[in-house]
């Protein structure tokens, strides 16, 4: 009987052992599959463009300070000694630059000094050798990340990047015999059991780093015997298959170390920046012990939550390091005296949300959403965060100002409030520097820059005048008198915005003062079909029908496409494609996508310059002249726009270097009871005054094929002696008038005859 029991017992143990071996083999396959494949889902990170600084550049001190803060620079009272530190004084900024690495440039950080005078950069020089720097580039700013369901932030590091005292601190805090055991530390388990029995409570755990890694990677947090058994088996398998330093590297990249809002901070690499604003290799002994101490309970020992508990836990880790003879008594004493200077953080707001939505649309043509949340791509954009913040603020303040000035514009519910939109572009490249698609993204995600269709009103008129340049000149006279037109059997009787006394006006004056009647007269003389063809050539995608009302912008456009049309004038006849994306780099720094300039020549440089000259007249003497007393004193061209019943207000203004479009209106088409000059233009001016780094003191370049002629303001012909207040006017050279002013030339001849007769009489 006893032999039978022993026999069956041995059989059971044998079968159990075989089953355990099969199960271990199964788990081994899981470990191999997980560790040999992509170990983590890393969110893709979106970055702004870099920031260029150079002597002679105007800056906005407030926006510039915000930029440095957002880049993680920390203010110190003495000369900066580490990367990421700045010292601000009245007329100088000492800055220890962070390393710069983009797909196009790489530069190690260095100490520099920037000298200022009345908001202008005077000098930039290196502090180490005194060398003057003609241009300096600040690193791009992180805008957002494409998180998956886990919402984890992680910066992967190599074990070779981790200082020895950080490794020792982690071992002291969690598993000081890590390099002596084989995944399971029986001495540690026994010690933990004795400690817990002595205190009659769970005071100590016996899990090794390898067990913790097995639990985090493969198991649920439930506390059952079967889970613990799986954990032990997995730990043994991991130790058998992988080197100790490789296991430690995986652990250091995996461990949970805190929370930033709704996003988990995982890994030593991310934690070193989150808590101390520096890479792991630059962590001090005190900082390394602080991070190691967080592993036990990150949210209890966080310096952002409980500094006293954090410091106590750090000291416990330091004492353990000393106990295991990894640091000396002197090092222990010095590290304990160090304050825990966490850099601080702000809960991440969604930056530039409408821009990010537009960017995402472009990215979705290149990548799947799951790739963006797992491949750890670095996405470099055209966004200038200083311009974006200034645009958001200008729009918010401008709309609030309009509501305050006219209580009829106020609405009770957020969804019905007065709306606005704004886009800022570099006209020669198409780079979108800022995009604000609405008043409040949390209320409405509808992007009024790229998705809305609104009537442009007079903002469309420049295309009408451009279409006429082959037949007419800026001094061609137009009828500004009332006429009735028949359209599809119906009478159409356009009117000027205000009553006028000028019934004959020059083409350039008609544009300058935005006369409706003269514009329609020009459109009819030019041909409506020609204007429709030009609109299609300028890539306006909305349907445009050949009606006379087209001349007054009575059809709908997408604001971004209208802005792109104006880029042609500023870019000397070339139209760019609106770009939000500059390039994409994978986790191994390989360039996957690089957006090249996509431009198309639509008109000649001469035609573009003539339009610029006439649109500068709009700013100097026409409907946009109020810019001059709003602080805009440098050369600017632009056009206001207002639609019937004041449903839409526009202003598009530009220099050779920057273009911005502003739209104001209600989503439901209610009247805003204000013109483009009163509603949109002040927002544009406020924005431009807030970004002086883009101020262009130079005028539009005069290309070949343009001729400046002194003309008579009455006839538009080259002036002669006797013409009153002659004007300088630019013409396309082969289309310039060559016949002298016939009116005053005759008066001059008659005057000479009379004078001659009088002379003869006097002689007699």
Instruction: Report whether pLDDT(204) > 60.
Output: no
Q: 58 pairs with which residues across the strands?
A: 120
Residue from 411, 408, 155 nearest 270 by CA: 155
349-372 mean pLDDT: 85
179-197 mean pLDDT: 66
Report the SS3 class of residue 660. Answer: strand
Question: 424-455 burial, b if ≥16 CB within 10 A, otherwise e?
Answer: bbbbbbbbbbbbbbbbebeebebbbbbbbebb
The pLDDT of residue 343 is 83
Rg (CA), the chain: 36
Question: 290-319 burial, b if ≥16 CB within 10 A, otherwise e?
Answer: bbbbbbeebeebbbeeeeeebbebbbbbbe
The pLDDT of residue 195 is 55
Edge-first strand order for the sheet with 142-146 is: 142-146, 44-47, 378-381, 581-585, 591-594
Tokens representing residue 613 in the block: 């000259």
Please count the other Cβ atoms lying within 10 Å of the Cβ belonging to residue 613.
22
Instruction: Report whether pLDDT(373) > 80.
Output: no
CB 685 within 8 A of CB 391: no
Note the pLDDT tens digit of each residue in 545-578: 898 999 999 999 999 999 999 999 999 999 999 9
Greater pLDDT, 125 or 362: 125
Report the SS3 class of residue 452. Answer: coil
Distance CA 265, CA 258 (A): 5
Residue from 636, 632, 629, 634 nearest 654 by CA: 636
Note the pLDDT tens digit of each residue in 631-663: 999 999 999 999 999 999 999 999 999 999 999
**350-451+572-599+628-699 shares the fold of 45-146:** no
CB 155 within 8 A of CB 253: no
Greater pLDDT, 232 or 440: 440
pLDDT band at 94 (very low <50, low <70, confident <90, very high): very high
Distance CA 607, CA 614 (A): 11
**From its phi and psi, is residue 482 left (phi > 0), alpha (psi between -120 and 50) or beta?**
beta
Note the pLDDT tens digit of each residue in 227-268: 666 777 777 777 777 788 888 888 898 888 988 876 788 899
Q: Which CATH number fits domain 350-451+572-599+628-699: 3.40.710.10, 3.40.50.720, 3.90.1300.10, 3.50.50.60?
A: 3.40.710.10
Note the pLDDT tens digit of each residue in 41-68: 788 899 999 999 999 999 999 999 999 9
Note the pLDDT tens digit of each residue in 246-255: 888 888 988 8
The pLDDT of residue 232 is 73
Q: 93 pairs with which residues across the strands?
A: 88, 114
Report the SS3 class of residue 433. Answer: strand
**Residue 677: which H helix or E strand, with range?**
helix 676-679
125-152 mean pLDDT: 88
Q: Which residues lie closer than 8 Å to 714 by C-beta, 6 or more apart?
A: 723, 724, 741, 743, 744
Percent of residues, the chain, with pLDDT higher than 70? 87
pLDDT band at 324 (very low <50, low <70, confident <90, very high): very high
DSSP string, 107-148: E---EEEEEEETTEEEEEEETTT--B-S-EEEPPPEEEEE--
Instruction: Report whether pLDDT(761) > 70.
Output: no
70-74 mean pLDDT: 90
pLDDT band at 359 (very low <50, low <70, confident <90, very high): very high
Task: Give me the catalytic one of 85, 139, 141, 174.
Answer: 174
Note the pLDDT tens digit of each residue in 516-531: 999 999 999 999 999 9
Phi, psi of 315 (to 5 degrees): -65, -35
Residue from 643, 676, 646, 678 nearest 661 by CA: 676
**Residue 87: which H helix or E strand, with range?**
strand 85-88
The pLDDT of residue 763 is 47
Distances (CA, A) of 169 to 268, 290, 294, 326, 698: 12, 9, 11, 9, 60
Residue from 252, 227, 282, 260 nearest 173 by CA: 252
Tokens representing residue 286 in the block: 């005190």
Residue from 451, 704, 428, 453 nearest 566 by CA: 428
136-158 mean pLDDT: 84
CATH topology for 45-146? Answer: Penicillin-binding protein 1b fold (3.30.2060)
Instruction: Quote the mean pLDDT of the chain.
Output: 87
Dihedral sign from CA coordinates of 149, 152, 156, 162: negative
Distance CA 124, CA 53 (A): 9
Report the SS3 class of residue 515. Answer: coil
CB 546 within 8 A of CB 533: no
**Residue 282: which H helix or E strand, with range?**
none
Distance CA 408, CA 402 (A): 10
The pLDDT of residue 224 is 61
Residue spans of beta strands (DSSP E) within 602-746? 637-642, 648-654, 659-665, 706-711, 727-732
Note the pLDDT tens digit of each residue in 398-420: 999 999 999 999 999 999 999 99
The pLDDT of residue 507 is 95
The pLDDT of residue 263 is 79
The answer to whether 158 is a known catalytic residue is: no
Q: 659 pairs with which residues across the strands?
A: 425, 654
Distances (CA, A) of 679 to 555, 629, 650, 661: 21, 16, 8, 13
Q: Which residues lie closer than 8 Å to 668 by C-beta, 6 or more apart?
A: 416
The pLDDT of residue 29 is 53
Distance CA 705, CA 606 (A): 6
Note the pLDDT tens digit of each residue in 293-315: 999 999 899 999 899 999 999 99
Most confident of 126-135, 150-159, 364-373: 126-135
DSSP string, 185-213: -HHHHHHHHHHHHHHTS-------HHHHH
Residue spans of beta strands (DSSP E) within 462-562? 477-479, 485-487, 490-492, 504-506
Residue spans of beta strands (DSSP E) within 460-508? 477-479, 485-487, 490-492, 504-506
The pLDDT of residue 526 is 94
Distance CA 596, CA 601 (A): 16
Greater pLDDT, 277 or 381: 381
Query: Domain map of the chain by residue range?
Result: 45-146, 152-208+240-337, 350-451+572-599+628-699, 706-763
Instruction: Report whether pLDDT(221) > 60.
Output: no
CATH homologous superfamily for the domain 152-208+240-337: Biosynthetic peptidoglycan transglycosylase-like (1.10.3810.10)
377-389 mean pLDDT: 95
Task: Give me the catalytic one of 374, 450, 458, 613.
Answer: 458
The pLDDT of residue 674 is 96
Greater pLDDT, 508 or 212: 508
Distance CA 312, CA 317 (A): 9
Distance CA 422, CA 394 (A): 9
Which DSSP symbol is given to 82? S
Distance CA 74, CA 88 (A): 10
The answer to whether 174 is a known catalytic residue is: yes
Instruction: Report whether pLDDT(217) > 90.
Output: no
Tokens representing residue 56 in the block: 């002679």
Note the pLDDT tens digit of each residue in 720-760: 888 988 989 999 988 888 888 888 876 544 344 334 433 44
């Amino acid at each position: 009987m006893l032999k039978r029991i022993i026999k069956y017992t041995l059989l059971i143990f044998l079968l159990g052992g075989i089953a355990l071996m099969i199960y271990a083999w199964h788990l081994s396959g899981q470990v191999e599959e997980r560790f040999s494949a992509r170990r983590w889902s890393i969110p893709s990170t979106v970055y702004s463009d870099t920031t260029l600084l150079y002597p002679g550049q105007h800056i906005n001190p407030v926006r510039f300070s915000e930029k440095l803060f957002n880049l993680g620079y920390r203010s110190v009272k003495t000369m900066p000694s580490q990367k990421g530190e700045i010292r601000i004084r009245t007329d100088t900024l000492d800055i220890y630059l962070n390393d710069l690495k983009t797909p196009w440039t790489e530069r190690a950080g260095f100490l520099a000094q920037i000298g200022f005078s009345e908001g202008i950069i005077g000098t930039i020089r290196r502090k180490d050798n005194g060398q003057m720097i003609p241009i300096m580039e600040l690193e791009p700013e992180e805008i957002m990340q494409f998180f998956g369901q886990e919402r984890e932030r992680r910066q992967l590091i190599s074990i070779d990047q981790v200082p020895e005292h950080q490794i020792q601190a982690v071992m002291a805090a969690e598993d000081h015999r890590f390099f002596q055991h084989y995944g399971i530390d029986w001495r540690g388990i026994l010690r933990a059991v004795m400690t817990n029995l002595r205190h009659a409570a769970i005071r100590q755990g016996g899990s090794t780093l390898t067990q913790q890694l097995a639990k985090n990677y493969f198991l649920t947090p439930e506390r059952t015997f079967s889970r613990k058994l799986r954990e032990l088996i997995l730990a043994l398998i991991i130790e058998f298959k992988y080197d100790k330093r490789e296991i430690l590297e995986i652990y250091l990249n995996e461990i949970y170390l805190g929370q930033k809002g709704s996003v988990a901070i995982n890994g030593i690499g991310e934690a070193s920046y989150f808590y101390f604003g520096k890479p792991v290799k630059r962590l001090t002994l005190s900082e390394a012990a602080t991070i190691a101490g967080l592993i036990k309970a990150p949210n209890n020992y966080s310096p952002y939550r409980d500094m006293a508990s954090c410091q106590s836990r750090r000291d416990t880790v330091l004492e353990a390091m000393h106990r295991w003879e990894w640091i000396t008594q002197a090092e222990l004493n010095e590290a304990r005296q160090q304050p825990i200077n966490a850099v601080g953080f702000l809960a991440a707001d969604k930056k530039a949300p409408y821009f990010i939505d537009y960017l995402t649309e472009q990215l979705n043509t290149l990548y799947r959403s799951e790739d963006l949340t797992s491949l750890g791509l670095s996405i470099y954009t055209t966004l200038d965060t200083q311009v974006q913040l200034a645009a958001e603020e200008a729009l918010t303040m401008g709309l609030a100002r309009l509501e305050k000035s006219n209580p009829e514009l106020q609405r009770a519910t957020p969804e019905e409030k007065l709306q606005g939109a704004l886009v800022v572009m570099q006209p020669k490249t198409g780079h979108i520097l800022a995009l604000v698609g609405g008043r409040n993204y949390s209320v409405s995600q509808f992007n009024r820059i790229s998705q809305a269709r609104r009537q442009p009103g007079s903002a469309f008129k420049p295309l009408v005048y451009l279409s006429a340049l082959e037949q007419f000149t800026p001094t061609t006279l137009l009828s500004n008198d009332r006429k009735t037109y028949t359209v599809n059997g119906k009478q159409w009787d356009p009117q000027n915005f205000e009553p006028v006394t000028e019934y004959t006006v020059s083409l350039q004056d008609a544009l300058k003062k935005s006369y409706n009647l003269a514009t329609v007269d020009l459109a009819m003389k030019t041909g409506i079909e020609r204007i429709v063809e030009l609109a299609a050539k300028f890539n306006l995608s909305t349907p445009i029908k050949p009606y006379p009302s087209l001349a007054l912008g009575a059809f709908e456009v997408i604001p971004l496409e209208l802005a792109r049309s104006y880029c042609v004038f500023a870019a000397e006849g070339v139209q760019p494609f609106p770009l939000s994306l500059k390039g994409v780099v994978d986790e191994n720094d390989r360039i996957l996508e690089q957006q090249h300039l996509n431009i198309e020549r639509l008109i000649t440089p001469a035609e573009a310059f003539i339009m610029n000259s006439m649109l500068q007249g709009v700013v100097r003497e026409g409907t946009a002249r109020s810019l001059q007393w709003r602080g805009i004193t440098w050369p600017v061209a632009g056009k206001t726009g207002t639609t019937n019943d004041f449903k839409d207000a526009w202003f598009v203004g530009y220099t050779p270097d920057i273009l911005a479009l502003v739209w104001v209106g209600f989503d439901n088409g209610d009247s805003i009871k204000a013109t483009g000059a009163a509603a949109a233009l002040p927002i544009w001016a406020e924005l431009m005054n807030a970004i002086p780094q883009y101020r262009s003191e130079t005028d539009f370049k005069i290309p070949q094929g343009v001729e400046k002629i002194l003309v008579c303001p009455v006839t538009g012909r080259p002036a002669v002696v006797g013409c009153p207040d002659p004007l300088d006017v630019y013409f396309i050279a082969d289309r310039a008038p060559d016949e002298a002013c016939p009116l005053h030339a005759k008066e001059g001849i008659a005057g000479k005859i009379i004078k001659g007769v009088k002379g003869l009489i006097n002689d007699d």
